[in-house]
Amino acid sequence: MNLIATHLNDAEISLIDSERLLYREPGFALLEDDQLITGSAAYAAARLKPRRIHNEYWSKLQTQPLSDLRFQHLSAADLVSQQFEQVWRKAAEHGDRLVVAVPAYMDNASLGLLLGIIAEYKVPVVAMVDAAVAATRRHYKNAIPVHVDLSLHSTMLTRMSQEGQAQVDRSAVVDESGMLALNDAWIRSIAAAFVKTLEDERFVGQTIRIGGPEALSWSEMIRRIAAAAGKTKMIIPMPIGAMGLAASLLDGIPQFPVTRDQLTMLAEGNVAESVDLARIIDCEPRSFGSENLSYLAA
């Protein structure tokens, strides 16, 4: 009998135990002609089948039929139930108990409905805690902590009180400013750069390189990722000739970490100057530094 925690942020519905991550997939549902698919598989099909996708059922949990014509025979509660069943059957075992970290976008009515859905699967819920409180690891002296989290459709800001123990002072949910809006903004930025090059005669017949502000070696990239994640990695230099010989002998073994083709690409290098992109989008591209990799420490 294990104690398992779930975080119901629909950007990444997650399930963990004391040792490892058991499940992490977004709150996406795909309605095919003969089946309902949720999670990463639905997200992967979102660009190809946008009319068959629904992704607001966690943030707008209710029992009314969905307004989308393809989903009118279903409610948000049905989709939440489908994904919760997928999560629990995939990761948990009989007798496991559940702690729920609740995002700020869920109100009391949604929580009551959620508890009813979980009860249908006979899952014992031993605690429900605000996600911002759950993320507060210690006392922050002489500070007022503010927890910021992004869901698919909103940004959630929670001001914390530290009187005695961490608790919510007040929360604000900013709609239409979540991960989907950011993804669309990034895609539009790159698309706008492409369109601009097509309209500007200076770029006729040219190859436009899209790269960051620094040229980094593979080992330096590993060091920066490890530093941002708060981990220590031992890096042992290996001559490309020795690796090539090993790859030629072991290329067919799936467990071998590198193939001959990958070694060829590493030897040739893969560097793009940022000058082209900077003059197209009129700003400096972001660096591959700790300030932009801070999410790895979460």
Q: Each residue of 207-229: pLDDT tens digit?
A: 777 666 777 887 887 788 778 77
Asked if pLDDT for residue 298 goes beyond 60, the answer is no
Quote the domain boundaries for residue 222. 207-297
Q: In the listed set 85, 110, 136, which residue is the last one of a domain according to the structure?
A: 136
Q: Are strands 167-175 and 154-161 parallel, antiparallel or unpaired?
A: antiparallel
User: Averaged over 273-290, what is the pLDDT?
Assistant: 66
- Is the pTM above the cut of 0.75? no
What pLDDT was estimated at residue 61? 96
The total number of structural domains in the chain stands at 2
How confident is residue 84, by pLDDT bands cut at 50, 70 and 90? very high
Q: Highest-confidence range of 115-119, 171-175, 278-282, by mean pLDDT?
A: 115-119
Residues 129 and 211 in one domain: no
User: Averaged over 58-65, what is the pLDDT?
Assistant: 95
Q: In the listed set 82, 114, 136, which residue is the last one of a domain according to the structure?
A: 136
Q: In the listed set 110, 136, 162, which residue is the last one of a domain according to the structure?
A: 136
Q: Each residue of 107-118: pLDDT tens digit?
A: 999 999 999 999
Residues 104 and 213 in one domain: no
Residues 124 and 212 in one domain: no
Report the distance separating Cα 140 and Cα 60, nearest Å.
Answer: 33
Q: Is residue 165 part of a domain?
A: no
What pLDDT was estimated at residue 273? 64
Residues 7 and 131 in one domain: yes
Q: Is residue 185 part of a domain?
A: no
Residues 120 and 14 in one domain: yes
Q: Is residue 196 part of a domain?
A: no
As beta bridge partners, residue 53 has 30
What pLDDT was estimated at residue 111? 95
What are the E-state strand segments in the chain?
A: 3-7, 13-16, 21-25, 29-31, 36-38, 53-54, 97-102, 125-130, 146-150, 154-161, 167-175
User: Averaged over 267-283, what is the pLDDT?
Assistant: 67
Q: Each residue of 16-55: pLDDT tens digit?
A: 988 889 999 999 999 988 889 999 999 999 989 999 999 9
Query: What is the longest distance spanned by two Cα atoms in the chain?
Result: 67
Cα→Cα distances 284→211, 215, 278, 281, Å? 10, 14, 5, 8
User: Averaged over 172-179, what is the pLDDT?
Assistant: 87
What pLDDT was estimated at residue 26? 96
Q: Is residue 111 part of a domain?
A: yes
Q: Is residue 80 part of a domain?
A: yes
Q: Is residue 231 part of a domain?
A: yes
Residues 126 and 36 in one domain: yes
CATH code of the domain covering residue 123: 3.30.420.40
Residues 124 and 18 in one domain: yes
Written as one letter, the residue type at 94 is: H
